[in-house]
Amino acid sequence: MSSNYGINRRSPFDRLGYFDSTKCFMHDLMHVVPEGVLNECSALLLQYLILDPVIKLNLVDVNRKISTLKSSREFTVSPQIRLNEVLELKKLSFSSSEMMALSMCLPIALADFVSIDNPNFANYLLLLEIISSLQCYSFQDKDLILLATNIEMHNRNHVLLYPKDVDSVSKAITPKLHTLLHFPSQIRLFGPPRYSWCFRYE
> What residue ranges do the domains of the chain occupy?
27-201
**Is pLDDT above 70 for 71?**
no
pLDDT in tens, 25-39: 888 999 899 999 999
Interatomic CA distance for residues 61 and 109, integer angstroms:
9
pTM: 0.87
- The length of the chain is 202
pLDDT of 8 strictly over 80 = no
**pLDDT for residue 169:** 63
pLDDT tens track for 34-63: 999 999 999 999 999 999 999 999 999 999
